[in-house]
Structures are given as C-alpha cells and as structure tokens.
Amino acid sequence: MDFLQARVVDPLSNVLNAHVLVYLLIGAGVYFTVRTRFIQIRYFGRMLRQVRRSHRHEGGISSFQAFCVGLASRVGTGNIAGVAIALTVGGPGAIFWMWVVAGVGMATAVVEAVLAQIFKVRSGDGAFRGGPAFYIQRGLRSRAGAVLFAVLLVLTFSTAFNMVETNAISGVLKSSHGVGIGWTAAALAVLAAPVLFGGVRRVAQFAEMAVPLVAVVYTLLALAIVAVNVTALPGVLGEIIGGAFGIRQMAGGFAGGIATALFTGVKRGLFACEAGMGSSPNIAGAATVAHPVEQGLIQSFAVFVDTMVICTATAFIVLMSGPAVYDPAHIGPIAGASLTESAIAAGLGSWTTGLMTAVVCVFGFASVLSNYVVAEANLFFLGGRRLAINALKVATLGAIVAGALSTLTLVWSIADLTMALMAIVNLTAICLLGRWAFAALRDFHRQAARGERPVFVAAEAGLPGELDGDVWAAPERRPVGALPDSLRISRPLPRALKPSRAPAA
C-alpha cells in the first residue's frame, strides 16, 4: 500500500491538483461569477428565502431535503478533519484559499445545479434523477463522457469518500475514548445497513433531521471559543491572510510557502464544499421545484454554509487553541478530526470531548449516506437496477469497514486523486453547457422582476437548443400521472433524448 501511494497515487494526484485543477476550478468560478453578474451576492437574500419556503412535493424529494442531503455530503468530516489537515500541511494561509474556492464556487454551484434540473429525467418509481452524467449525455451528446463521469463518481463516492468519513470517526473514537477500530467498523456497518436499504427518501429524512441540528451545535461551539478568545481574532485573521501570500513564511513564522498554502487550500476547499466536483448536482436533480434556478440558489447557499460558516469555525477553533495544541511552525503528532477535538477541549474544557465525538460521528455518518445517494444515481444512469444497486449497497458497507481500518494518509491520497479526476470532467462539461444555465437565469430574473413566482417552461425560456421530454413542458401540455418511456429510464438514454443543435436564441 505504501509503495502504491508513493509511486502512483501521490505523484498523479499532485500533477492534477497543482497543474490542472487549481487553475480550472478557480478560473471556472471566476467565469461563472462574472457571467451571472455575481449572483452569489445579488441573490443571497433570495437564497435564504428559498430555503425557508421549500415544500414537499410528490414525485421527488423536497428542495429543502435536497439542501440537507447536499449539505450532509458537504458538511462531513472534511469540515472537521479536512480543515485541520489543511492547517497542518498548508498552514493558516490554506484557509484563505478555501474561502476563495467557496466564494467563486457559489456561482459554480448555481450553474451545475441548474443544469442538473434542466436535464433531469423521471424514473419508473416517479423520482427524479439528474446530475453531470445526465447533462453530459443530453446536453453535450456525449455518451462516452457521461459514462466516464458516472464510473468515476461511483468509485469515488461508494469507496474513497466513505473511507475518509469512517476513518475520521474511528480515529476520534479511538483517540478520545479508546474504542477499538474493529468495534467502530462493525457498529457503523450495522447502523448504515437499514438506512441504505431503505432508499433515497429515508436518507433524505435522516439528513433533514440530523444535519441542521448538529451544524448549529458545532457552530455554537466555535462561537463560544471565539467569544472567549475575542482579543486573539485580529491575530488569527492576520495569520490567515499573511500565510496565504507568503508573508508569514518569509518572516520565518511558518513552514511551507504560498504554493503549499494555495494547493492545499484548493484541494481541501474542493473536498469540503464540492462546488464544481459534480457530486451535489446529483442531489439537486432529485428535487421537485417550479424553476431550476430555485434549486441552484439553494445549492449555492449550501456552499456558503459549508465553507464560510462551518469550515471557518473549524479554522478559528484550531488557530485559537494555542501552541500547546497547534503550532504552524512545529506540527505535532495530532492530526485530522482529533486535532479539532483537542482544540475545542483546550478552549472550552474536557467536557466537550463527548459532544465533539457525537458531532464527528453524525457528520461522518450523514456524509456516508449522502455519498451513497450520489453513487446510486450514477449507477442508475449506467443501467444498474435492483441487483446492481443492492451490490452497491454491499460495497458501500465494505468501504465503511475498510475506511475505519485504513491509515489516514492513504485514504486521503486516494480521495484527492479521484476527486480531481471527477472535477476536471465536470468543470469542462459545465463550461461548455453554461449557456443553458445562463438562459434559465435570464428567464428566472424576467419573471421575478414582474413580481411573479418563476415557473420554468422549456419552450418559453429562450434555451439555446430544443429540450426533449416533458418534465419541463407547459402545465397544460404535461401528461397527468403518466410519463413517456423516454423519461421512465430502464436502460441508458436513447438518442431521442439528445437535444438538437439548434442555434442559440
């Protein structure tokens, strides 16, 4: 395993992240920010209203449930363990680049979620399916590209990412409570099995109940630490900004340099907020909304909550813990989620250890379930049905056990590599399909400016091509209770679903 990591996984991951992904990720985010006229700022208030007024609908999960499932996938141990690893590897400056990735990533999240909604289809059980595989095939007319992305995602989310989550859980339980990793692995598998075999809606119900509550508890812990150490806040911000541009390193205060902070921040930022990776659109495409942009705004707000709130909370917790716990110039043996837990205990007392263990376990467990939902949607796209989906559930349980038993460095190295490959494919696709999202945004803005509740009708939205199917047909032309075979997928999408090369409107 060490040989594989040193000779194959790490070199390839470093090339992709340092020479391809960092420029593509930030470049695409800046492009979408400009083309949408800074939608993450202009529509921020509407994002809040959209989350509040989400309702349940027949035929899919509610917009708020999609928000919670997406947030569960984002707000996992990446926000606790990932941020702590970013601080130990890249120094405080890595946090600044995480902010940059999330800031421009909010616009990227809008675009990919809107595309997932535009090109979504309905399966035989009435639920919606959508995501990069669907918009690559239907929008770009590339079956090969769609299959490549779907395969990468199934492998990444059913194995690598779930291994990361359970590894963090087992590490915290062992370091803080002396629980053997074998017991942790067995317990996680037993707890996950009934939820996984209960289907997507059961995962959505769990995420809807657990994730918002735990996120609030964790944020309150961070606010308490900041309040206790409020005088240190300017110094912490100085460390973050100075570290991002190499000022502290040049002064001899920290190890590493600007490149390390930049690349580490981008990798950990992408893992945490997932904007541009292509995972959250699979969940966004499952929601029932009146207009695709509604779900785009909700997914964008999830990026804000994930990074600007929860990741920042973790960063402040660790940076305010003092040199006994975290010293950027002399990294100690504690890493990952255990570092965050130790930092909270140093700031508020040992009574927080049990509470933080619960937070890590709930975040990690919710992420495992949400990761499975994303993997299942893409296996469905590949033509997998009952037998294949059940096999995926068994494989997910195996990854849960393997992750709890694996080493921290190997798990994160595999996740970094597969994540980079996924993101490169998805970012290329959404840049090529951006005009579809921009047309939907213009349609949404026109209707909202008239004081109407925007309703999306494909034939009237000024799309750059013909959108086949009747998911977005006018209400009076949409069949009631029945859908054509083209939208009840029981096999790979036929050519009839591929849009024409009609000129841009």
- Reported as a single tens digit per residue, the pLDDT across 375-409 is 888 888 898 878 888 899 898 888 888 888 877 57
Cβ atoms of 411 and 167 within 8 Å: the answer is yes
Q: Look at residue 267 in the predicted model and tell me its pLDDT.
A: 66
Phi, psi dihedrals of residue 129, rounded to the nearest 5°:
-130, 135
Cβ atoms of 126 and 199 within 8 Å: the answer is no
Judge residue 116's burial from the number of C-beta atoms within 10 Å of its C-beta, 0-12 exposed, 13-18 middle, 19 or more buried: buried
Q: Give 9-78 as a 3 state SS string.
A: HHHHHHHHHHHHHHHHHHHHHHHHHHHCCCHHHHCHHHHHHHHHCCCCCCCCECHHHHHHHHHHHHCCCH
Mean pLDDT value of segment 18-33? 86
Amino acid occupying residue 379: L
Read off the pLDDT band of 41 (50, 70, 90).
Answer: very high
Read off the pLDDT band of 44 (50, 70, 90).
Answer: very high
Q: What is the DSSP letter of 45?
A: H
Q: Look at residue 334 in the predicted model and tell me its pLDDT.
A: 61
Q: Look at residue 255 in the predicted model and tell me its pLDDT.
A: 45
pTM of the model: 0.80
Cβ atoms of 473 and 458 within 8 Å: the answer is yes
- Tell me the domains of the chain and their CATH numbers: 8-55+63-322+336-473 (1.20.1740)
Cβ atoms of 108 and 32 within 8 Å: the answer is yes
CB atoms within 10 A of CB 245: 14
Q: Look at residue 505 in the predicted model and tell me its pLDDT.
A: 34
- Comparing 120 with 7, which gets the higher pLDDT? 120
Read off the pLDDT band of 463 (50, 70, 90).
Answer: very high
d(Cα 98, Cα 267) in Å, to the nearest integer? 8
pLDDT tens digits along 235-279: 888 888 888 776 554 444 444 456 677 767 776 666 667 778 888
State the residue for tokens 């080493």.
Answer: 407
Q: Which residues, in sequence order, are bridge partners of residue 123?
A: 489
Residue-averaged pLDDT of the chain: 79
Of the ranges 64-68, 269-273, 448-452, 463-467, which one carries the lowest mean pLDDT score?
Answer: 269-273
Whether residue 192 is predicted with pLDDT greater than 90 in this model: the reply is no
Q: Which residues, in sequence order, are bridge partners of residue 122?
A: 128
Q: Look at residue 173 in the predicted model and tell me its pLDDT.
A: 85
Phi, psi dihedrals of residue 219, rounded to the nearest 5°:
-65, -40
Percent of the chain scoring above 70 in pLDDT: 78
Q: Look at residue 145 in the predicted model and tell me its pLDDT.
A: 93
Amino acid occupying residue 129: R
- Comparing 272 with 221, which gets the higher pLDDT? 221
pLDDT tens digits along 129-168: 889 999 999 999 999 999 999 998 998 888 878 887 888 7
Q: Look at residue 217 in the predicted model and tell me its pLDDT.
A: 84
